[in-house]
């Protein structure tokens, strides 16, 4: 799933020759000299043109018998386009897909089962938030590509004025105390809109709950469990320490723009949000910092939703060996380190976290990513997000509704949506 404002993403301008598949999506045939050409779909703004060019050049040099043609796809409408491609005889050979989209594509039977390649690809060290949604019915279809997740972006000057040391904020209780202190110093302790449901999910996971669970093959919404209710209670407490609207999410109004305009001490965002803040208010350049979302105890950072991408190979590809070679190289340690440095992404393995050690935003992300998770791994979850009863639930509770009753209502809506969307 694509997160808003992935860290450090630059606009993608396709270099000449790398977007040769501007027409149909099908794989090109083998040439007379034995060269295999694979067609690859990558998503808009996932990587820079420079990194794409560098990788393709390096890959083709390392594998002279394989040529690569990259076609850039738009996020809007990509689900239907991939579904159609997988059902055709003209599918590309490699597709980048949002990590939480893999289940719906795998359900159709259109993806190649890569379970026997997991060990070869270093799967024991993959980020769970990418690996788990890349699996369906016990088989691995999606190979983790890159990750991004939310952190706390804070104003260093406001923290200093309030006498708050960000390095000392390791637990939720410490976070609340620091935010209360920031409020008392004349700033808005935190800008947290009422419907940031991905942040709520992390608090629920920290309590041992979930948005939905599967029992006996049936998925059911679980916002009304004691654990999930404790997560909502913490969200309500934190949200009350700022002036965020109770009936909208982080996009309306754009929270980075709100931070740029006033004395907002903190927001929860991907690190790329800091770039938007300084673009809107250059005076804040050099005055923004990052720390991981705190957990219940200092021993474990807060759980976060991991957005990012997996790579899949269509079952209809006639170039599966070459396609796998491409996937193996792009998700291998050497290129993952280069990708992390170029794009400020979290690499796909926990063992590569040191690759972003010198990047404050990305290193804060990597801490949370190690314990990150994804939304419930069912094809029906897309229908939940389309209707999003979680947002309505949050607003209802924040405006005085009974949490247990509203959670039960939302859980029923989640169950119905998953049943209709699976």
SS3 of 120-148: CCCHHHECHHHHCCCEECCEECCEEEEEE
Q: Where are the beta strands (DSSP E) in 318-376?
A: none
Q: Check if the beta carbon of residue 40 is closer than 8 Å to that of residue 72.
A: no
Is the peptide bond preceding residue 148 cis, with omega within 30 degrees of 0?
Answer: no
Q: What is the pLDDT of residue 134?
A: 96
Residue 89 and residue 71: Cα distance in Å, rounded? 18
Residues contacting 106, CB < 8 A, separation 6+: 136, 137, 139, 141, 142
- The secondary structure element, H or E, covering residue 94 is strand 94-98
The 10s digit of each residue's pLDDT in 74-107 is 998 999 999 999 999 889 999 999 999 999 899 9
Check whether 44 has a pLDDT greater than 70. Answer: yes
Q: How many CB atoms lie within 10 A of CB 200?
A: 25
Structure tokens at 136: 């369906």
The 10s digit of each residue's pLDDT in 170-223 is 999 999 999 999 998 889 999 999 999 999 999 999 999 999 999 988 999 999
Cα-based distances in Å from 28 to 69, 200, 304, 375: 9, 46, 40, 36
Q: Report the predicted TM-score, pTM, of the whole model to 2 decimal places.
A: 0.88
Q: What is the residue-averaged pLDDT of the chain?
A: 91
Cα-based distances in Å from 414 to 193, 347, 422: 22, 32, 12
Q: What is the pLDDT of residue 24?
A: 39
Structure tokens at 148: 């991004």
Structure tokens at 315: 């079952």
Check whether 4 has a pLDDT greater than 60. Answer: no
Residue 195 and residue 199: Cα distance in Å, rounded? 9
Check whether 348 has a pLDDT greater than 50. Answer: yes
């Amino acid at each position: 799933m694509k997160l808003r404002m992935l860290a450090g993403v630059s606009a993608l301008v396709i270099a000449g020759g790398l977007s040769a598949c501007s027409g149909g999506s099908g794989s090109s045939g083998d040439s007379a000299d034995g060269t295999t050409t694979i067609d690859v779909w990558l998503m808009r703004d996932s990587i820079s043109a420079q990194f794409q060019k560098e990788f393709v050049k390096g890959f083709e040099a390392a594998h002279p018998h394989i040529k690569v043609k990259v076609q850039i796809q738009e996020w809007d409408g990509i689900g239907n386009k991939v579904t159609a491609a997988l059902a055709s005889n003209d599918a590309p050979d490699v597709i980048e897909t949002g990590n939480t989209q893999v289940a719906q594509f795998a359900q159709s039977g259109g993806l190649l089962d890569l379970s026997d390649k997991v060990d070869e690809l270093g799967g024991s060290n993959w980020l769970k938030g990418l690996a788990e949604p890349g699996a369906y019915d016990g088989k691995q279809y999606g190979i983790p590509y890159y990750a991004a997740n939310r952190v706390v972006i804070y104003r260093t000057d406001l923290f200093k004025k309030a006498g708050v040391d960000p390095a000392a904020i390791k637990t939720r209780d410490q976070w609340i105390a620091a935010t209360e202190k920031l409020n008392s110093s004349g700033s808005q302790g935190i800008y947290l809109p009422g419907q940031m449901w991905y942040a709520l999910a992390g608090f629920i996971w920290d309590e041992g709950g979930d948005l939905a669970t599967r029992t006996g093959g049936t998925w059911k919404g679980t916002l009304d469990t004691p654990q999930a209710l404790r997560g909502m209670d913490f969200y309500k407490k934190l949200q009350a320490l700022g002036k965020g609207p109770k009936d909208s999410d982080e996009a309306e109004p754009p929270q980075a723009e709100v931070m740029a305009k006033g004395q907002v001490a903190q927001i929860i965002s991907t690190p790329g949000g800091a770039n938007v803040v300084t673009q809107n208010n250059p005076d804040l350049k050099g005055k923004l910092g990052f720390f991981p979302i705190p957990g219940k105890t200092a021993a474990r950072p807060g759980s976060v939703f991991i957005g990012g991408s997996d790579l899949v190979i269509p079952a209809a590809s006639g170039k599966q060996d070459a396609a796998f070679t491409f996937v193996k190289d792009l998700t291998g340690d050497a290129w993952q380190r280069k990708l992390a440095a170029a794009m400020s992404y979290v690499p796909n393995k926990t063992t590569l976290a040191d690759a972003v050690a010198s990047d404050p935003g990305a290193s804060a992300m990597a801490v949370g990513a190690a314990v990150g998770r994804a939304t419930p791994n069912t094809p029906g979850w897309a229908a939940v997000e389309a209707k999003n009863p979680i947002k309505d639930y949050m607003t209802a509770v924040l405006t005085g509704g009974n949490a247990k009753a509203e959670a039960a209502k939302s859980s029923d809506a989640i169950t119905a949506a998953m049943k209709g969307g699976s």
